[in-house]
Structure 1
Amino acid sequence: MTVPAVLDVPTEAPMTPAAERILDAAGTLFYTHGIRAVGVDSIAEAAGTTKKTIYDRFGSKDGLIVAYLHRRSLRWRSLVLDFIRPLPVGRAQALAVFDATDEWMASWVRGCGFINAYAELGGTDHPGVEIIVEEKAWVRDLFAHTCTAAGYPEPEFLAGQLTLLHEGSIVARTAGAQDDASRVAKLTAQILLDVPVGEPS
């Protein structure tokens, strides 16, 4: 049976040990201090390598930013799919996205790395923007897939509602200091799924 594209996550491409150290260091620094604030010198020092090695492996700082966002995307998607795969297709899987988010965000106290990156890169032609936009679209597509599988009459509209709940819970958890945001969002999602509200005519 063909696996829907939204459920298929590519494996991470193998890298040299030096490239791994660089990407690990860059990821920590970008997330903690911001993409624009972190220079290649700081990344090289944290990774125990040289600027030349960074440019040899990633081409430029922009290339490193793209690699950081791409790897973050793959790891986030893998976590979500690990949560939903054992569950019955449909409603239970949609709700499990909120459980996955709760676990993911417990390790990332500065909020969503994609939202943070978009705050710095949005409105530019930086190649990282496309990864961020695709990541948010993937969440909505995943909800649409689960709602379609569950047989809801307007799965795309319902997916949009669930996506707003999901993204809002991430912001509320960090900027709003609401530690139970994912749990509250899941409870609200249950109400939506039990009594779905159709798109206004």
Structure 2
Amino acid sequence: MFRKCGIRGTGVDTIAESAGTNKMTLYRHFQSKDALIVACLEDAARDAEELWRTVEASAPGEPRRQLDTWIRLVEAGLQHDRGCEFSNAAVELPEACSVVRDTIASFKRTQRERLAGICRQAGIREADRLADTLGLMVEGARVSRQASGDEGPSSRFADCARMAIDHFALQGSPGLAKAPAENQPAE
């Protein structure tokens, strides 16, 4: 419901009714709407963890191929109507309680570190800058898709991300090979 209607647009009464219960029972399980928001964000974090397991399993020991898998998975994820639950919560609830804000910040930090780690493994000297660049591209692509639809700038996310990776890989790292394009054999 939060994804479809937004957090502010979804009241506790509506949540309880949709769950086939009442507010009193809902509050026995979640002491506040903020606690319910955190539980939903934690559920989304588990989904993100599955994405990272898929990335790592896609090409063990081949971080450039893992980056390509990450791009494909992000691109597929851009098809969601409302974008990232964490980014949406941060924008929708700028005055949220510290538990909600800390949950959002911790998730975003973890995602950035996972991405930077793969970039480091790929031998990219400025791995943190590349992770920041890719992170900003993802956030921009999500917003662009909501504003401009499938045919807008978000449709170029994969090409832009690959160009950024290639650029950073070549900066001070002349020996790094480009990852083979999808469905192309390694050289």
- The answer to whether TM tops 0.5 is yes
**Cα drift, residue 195 of structure 1:** 2.7
* Structure 2 residue matching 1:110: 3-state secondary structure: coil
Question: Which structure 2 residues correspond to residues 1-201 of structure 1 after superposition, within 5 A?
Answer: 29-88=1-60, 89-106=62-79, 108-179=80-151, 184-196=156-168
CA gap of 1:179–1:77, structure 2 versus 1, over 3 A, is farther
CA gap of 1:77–1:173, structure 2 versus 1, over 3 A, is farther
Cα distance per residue 1:77-122 (max 9 Å; x no partner): 313432442224312212322211222332x212222222111212
**Cα drift, residue 124 of structure 1:** 3.7
Structure 2 residue runs without a partner (length 5+): 172-187
Give me the whole-angstrom Cα distance separating, in 2, the residues matched to 1:40 and 1:138: 30
Counterpart code for 1:75: D
CA-atom RMSD in angstroms: 2.3
CA gap of 1:179–1:143, structure 2 versus 1, over 3 A, is farther
Cα distance per residue 1:139-172 (max 9 Å; x no partner): 2212211111011122112221122222211211
Identity of aligned residues (%): 34
Counterpart code for 2:161: A
CA gap of 1:80–1:179, structure 2 versus 1, over 3 A, is farther
Give me the whole-angstrom Cα distance separating, in 2, the residues matched to 1:96 and 1:168: 19
Give me the whole-angstrom Cα distance separating, in 1, the residues matched to 2:155 and 2:68: 10
What's the TM-score, normalizing by structure 1?
Answer: 0.74
Structure 1 residue runs without a partner (length 5+): 1-28
Counterpart code for 1:121: L
CA gap of 1:191–1:145, structure 2 versus 1, over 3 A, is same
Cα distance per residue 1:5-60 (max 9 Å; x no partner): xxxxxxxxxxxxxxxxxxxxxxxx21111212222111111010121211111122
What's the TM-score, normalizing by structure 2?
Answer: 0.79
May I ask how many residue pairs the two structures share in their alignment?
A: 170
Contact kept, 8 Å, 1:69 with 1:114, in 2: the verdict is: yes
